[in-house]
Each structure stands twice: as structure tokens, then as C-alpha cells.
């Protein structure tokens, strides 16, 4: 299975479980507009940025909610719209952090290449096991990032950095342990 397909499968599984928990799980797991506002306060200090993101998330959720069947009970419809708003909000947080995450993963790849070139001196060797573990860590980190944007559960904004850090560490480990003649 290719790495991109693994990321999509893991993220899809996380999204399905997250939406199931948000819709039929305990009351404490259900998303609410207040949870999204608290997430925004933690992630963005400037009130103008917070207000703009919150407004755009609510508008996007209302637009997407227009396609919901009218026979849904009011409570289920409200839960779906709240979940969509939280998911849009988290996707926006991820989009704002993406340039920093891309720079971090690029720096990790450069560090991995630097470590790989150090293997030419013969003091160490490339480990296929470490390369595979690094690849899997990068896949899990990328899946965590995509899952963050798809899941309607109000997750802490720091989860973006956890997923990005895992992806960067995985890329560094993977690239550093590739064989010299690829």
C-alpha cells in the first residue's frame, strides 16, 4: 500500500470514528459552538482573526448544512451543523499552520539527508528497519494532521504541532536511513 493511500485510509477511519462519537457518543463528546470559540481563543490571540475564522466556519457549516435532508430532527440537524462548524474551524487552523509545518518537514528532510551523507565515512550503516519505522511515523503524523481537519470533536489546537512533529521526525528518520545507492 502506498504511503498516500495509507494516510487516506487512516484519516478516513479517524473521521468516521470521530463523527460517530460526535453524533451518537456521550454528551461530553458532542461538539458545540462554545467549544469552537474556546479553541479559537487558545489558537489565536487577536480578536479580529478569531472573529473572522469563527464567522467563516459558521457560514461554511450553514452552506454545507443546506444539503441536509429536511426530515432530520432538529437536535440531529443542530449536532451535524455544530460538528461541521468545528471541523471547518479545525481545518482553517491547520491551513494557517501549514506553511510552518511544511518548513519543519523540509528542514527534517534536509537534516535526514545530512545524516545520510555522513554514512559515507563508514562509521554507521543505513538501517532498513529504522527507515521503515520512520516512514510509518511520517504516515501516522500526516494522518493525524488530516484527521484533525476532518474530525468534529473539539481537539486542542496543539494537536496540529503534535502531528507535524511526528511527521517531521518520521521524515528525518526515513531519509537518514535510506541506503546510499537508491
Q: Is residue 182 part of a domain?
A: no
Q: Are 7 and 142 in contact (CB under 8 A)?
A: yes
Q: Is residue 181 part of a domain?
A: no
Least confident of 78-82, 129-133, 175-179: 78-82
Q: Is residue 7 part of a domain?
A: yes
Sign of CA dihedral 143, 146, 152, 158: positive
Q: Is residue 97 part of a domain?
A: yes
- What is the percentage of the chain residues whose pLDDT exceeds 70? 81
Q: Are 22 and 29 in contact (CB under 8 A)?
A: yes
Domain that holds residue 31: 3-176
Q: Is residue 26 part of a domain?
A: yes
Q: Is residue 148 part of a domain?
A: yes
Domain count, the chain: 1
Considering 25-34, 47-56, 115-124, the range whose residues carry the highest mean pLDDT is: 115-124
pTM: 0.79
Measure the CA–CA gap between 60 and 76, rounded to whole angstroms.
18
Amino acid at each position: 500500500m502506498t504511503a498516500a493511500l495509507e494516510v487516506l485510509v487512516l484519516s478516513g477511519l479517524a473521521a468516521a470514528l470521530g463523527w460517530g462519537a460526535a453524533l451518537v457518543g456521550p454528551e461530553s463528546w458532542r461538539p458545540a459552538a462554545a467549544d469552537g470559540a474556546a479553541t479559537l481563543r487558545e489558537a489565536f490571540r487577536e480578536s479580529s482573526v478569531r472573529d473572522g475564522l469563527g464567522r467563516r466556519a459558521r457560514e461554511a457549516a450553514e452552506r454545507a448544512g443546506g444539503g441536509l435532508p429536511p426530515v432530520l430532527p432538529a437536535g440531529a440537524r443542530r449536532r451535524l451543523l455544530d460538528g461541521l462548524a468545528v471541523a471547518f474551524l479545525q481545518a482553517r487552523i491547520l491551513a494557517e499552520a501549514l506553511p510552518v509545518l511544511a518548513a519543519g518537514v523540509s528542514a527534517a528532510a534536509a537534516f535526514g539527508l545530512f545524516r545520510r551523507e555522513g554514512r559515507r565515512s563508514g562509521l554507521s550503516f543505513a538501517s532498513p528497519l529504522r527507515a521503515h519505522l520512520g516512514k510509518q511515523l511520517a504516515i501516522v503524523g500526516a494522518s493525524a494532521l488530516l484527521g484533525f481537519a476532518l474530525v468534529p470533536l473539539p481537539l486542542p489546537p496543539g494537536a496540529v504541532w503534535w502531528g507535524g512533529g511526528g511527521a517531521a521526525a518520521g521524515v528525518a528518520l526515513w531519509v537518514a536511513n535510506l541506503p546510499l545507492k537508491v
